[in-house]
Amino acid sequence: MSDRLSALDVSFLYLEEATTPMHIGGVAVFQAPKQGFDIDRLTHLIEERISLVPRYRQKVKWVPGRVANPVWIDDAEFDVHYHVRRSALPRPGDDTQLRELVGRIMSRPVDRNRPLWEMYLVEGLQNGRFAILTKTHHAMVDGAGALDIGQVILDFTPEARRAEVQEWIPRKEPSDIDLVTEAVSEIVRSPAAAIDAVRGTAGDVRETAERFGRRAAGFAAGLASAALTIARPPAENPLNRPIGEARRFGMTQARLDDFKAIRRAHGGTINDVVLTVVSGALREWMMTRGEPVSPSTTVRALVPTSMRNGEEGSGNHIAAFLVDLPVGEPRPLVRLHRVTFEMEQLKSTGQMVGAQALVGVAGFAPPTLHALGARTVNDLSRRMFNLVVTNVPGPQVSLFADGALMLGAYPVVPLAKGQAVSLGVTSYNGGMYFGLNADREAMSDVDVLADCIDTAILELLETLPDSETSPTEAVTEAVTEAAGEAAEATEAAPAALAESPELVVDLHEPVEVSADADLRGGVLVKPRQVSSEASRGLVPRANPASRPVSDGRSD
């Protein structure tokens, strides 16, 4: 039986237009080993380990008449050299040039006639560095059990564990008749699904909207009605503009310990601190543009989370919060308290801002109406939220690609229609890495926004009390903090389970990866609770007030 795309996965294909390519990715910066690192080593590493991700040798085949969702089939003409590519910066390349290259590469959609991914080795970075840029279509990844090609090349030690390249014999491609016959057979075996599909063609939008409101009830208890939040469009601001096909990419980084210190001093979670930093950065950025900022000014962020039901399986599992960021609040500590309070209300009610409703829209049936449903979500995005902010933890240990030390990771989050920037954050080995994917024309000052993130972090650090901590107190604080982070990881689960059978996995705190972590043949395998996006953004920085560096020196 063919491996059919889920309703949500295929919706990402329907969502895709020239101005909204639906691939996600990241840029990882590495320190080259003494023996060097070139395209042949990277290609061989992929050839050795691609059997761990068989999806990456498969392509999408549509069912004639679109009577069912498309299926994954083996690409008999698969050529690893087509997908693993070489690029270079004029030596000595700096991070500004790297960001420009990332923007250009991420502007181009992936080839739908082949497996939906690309990987670039970027040579020529100064100080003996190189970068690996991954680009993967959203339909392939982000499920609870998904494993990304960017992960399989990583090891916990400098010594890469070698494996023989396995012979691969592609399965025979099904004919159009086979696909139609199989689709009809599935309908016969599950007539209820077919009836629901037909019945849903007219009523899905209305029912989805109703469910969206029902499940969002209590969204901002104590602040405002969730239904009003959904119904009331976010304020217009420079983040919402018509966008084109070209992109810019910005990045900045900070120390995870700084975020922990802020959390320890003022409460909340690491994610609360992240959202507070984003709030402060947006405030300063809007002021640099001469935009009006009043005490009541807010920016609504869609904050995705991972959701699973504890069962194995592939496909996208997405939930999200809608958070009104207090951009108008001039005091950083008050901003933090406001963000923390709002997030606590969201968690206490177990509401995920219409997670099921969003799936309902994306899961429009029959498949011929998928495009309508997906585009409806895309068209409505600017009237629901101003930008997307993702925060996904990565491993807090060093990782290597065939002996090359990974210095850090920056995620690349796709843009929705009418939204000028998406902001992704990932933690890795003591660092916090911010990736800003932006429209080239609407966000010509994306680097200014990155600098504003640095300033917002410093503002919060200045609120910390000046006190020396004894070694004994440091140990006590570390133990208390670890216990607190473990509690936060599960605090939302009981309320969510009371509302629906899905288990909400809180990914807002870093995940420590020990030496006995899940390995397959020595290859780093993502824990099921970590989104694949965590492996795709990738690069550290010691000083939050400086531009991205990897060796402690400015570019």
What is the reported pLDDT for 75? 96
DSSP string, 431-459: EEEEEEEEETTTTTTHHHHHHHHHHHHHH
The phi and psi torsions of 391 (rounded to 5 degrees) equal -135, 110
pTM to 2 decimals? 0.76
Q: What is the pLDDT of residue 180?
A: 86
Is the preceding omega at residue 92 within 30 degrees of 0, hence cis? Answer: yes
Angle between helices 370-384 and 7-15 (to 10 degrees): 70
Cα 125 to the center of its chain, rounded Å: 25
Task: Please give the backbone phi and psi of residue 431, each rounded to the nearest 5 degrees, phi first.
Answer: -120, 160
Q: Is 251 helix (H, G, I), strand (E, B) or coil?
A: strand
pLDDT of residue 385 exceeding 90, the answer is no
In this prediction, residue 319 has a pLDDT band, given cuts at 50, 70 and 90, of low
Higher model confidence: residue 188 or residue 547?
188
Burial 517-550 (b: 16+ CB within 10 A, else e): eeeeeebbebebebbbbbbbbbbbbeebebbbbb
Residues 6+ apart with CB under 8 A from 48: 162, 163, 164, 165
Residue 548 CB partners (closer than 8 Å, separation 6+): 95, 251, 252, 253, 408, 539, 541, 555
Lowest average pLDDT, out of 42-46, 339-343, 457-461, 511-515, goes to 511-515
Q: What is the pLDDT of residue 219?
A: 34
Residue 462: predicted pLDDT: 96
Q: What is the bridge-based pairing of β-strands 318-325 and 299-308?
A: antiparallel
Per residue in 83-92, pLDDT (tens digit) is 999 999 998 9
Give per-residue pLDDT as tens, 394-421.
889 999 999 999 999 999 989 988 899 9
Q: Is 50 exceeded by the pLDDT of residue 302?
A: yes
**Among 22, 28, 15, 20, which Cα is nearest to 411's?**
28
Q: Is 454 left (phi over 0), alpha (psi -120 to 50) or beta?
A: alpha
Candidate ranges 65-79, 148-162, 362-376, 479-493; pick with highest mean pLDDT: 65-79
For residue 534, pLDDT over 50 is answered with no
Name the residue with higher pLDDT: 65 or 300. Answer: 300
Determine contact, residues 103/247, Cβ cutoff 8 Å. yes
In the predicted model, what is the mean pLDDT of residues 325-349?
91
Alpha helices in 88-131 (DSSP H): 95-107
Output the six-digit token pair for 269: 């979670």
- Say which residue, 497 or 271, is predicted with more confidence: 271
Closest CA to 19 of 437, 444, 418: 418
Across all residues in the chain, what is the average pLDDT?
Answer: 75
Question: Which amino acid is residue 528, in one-letter code?
Answer: R
Q: What is the pLDDT of residues 265-296, one digit of tens each?
A: 999 999 999 999 999 999 999 999 999 999 99
Distance CA 518, CA 301 (A): 34
- Give the H/E segment covering residue 193: helix 191-215
Domains of the chain with CATH codes: 202-231+246-391+410-511 (3.30.559)
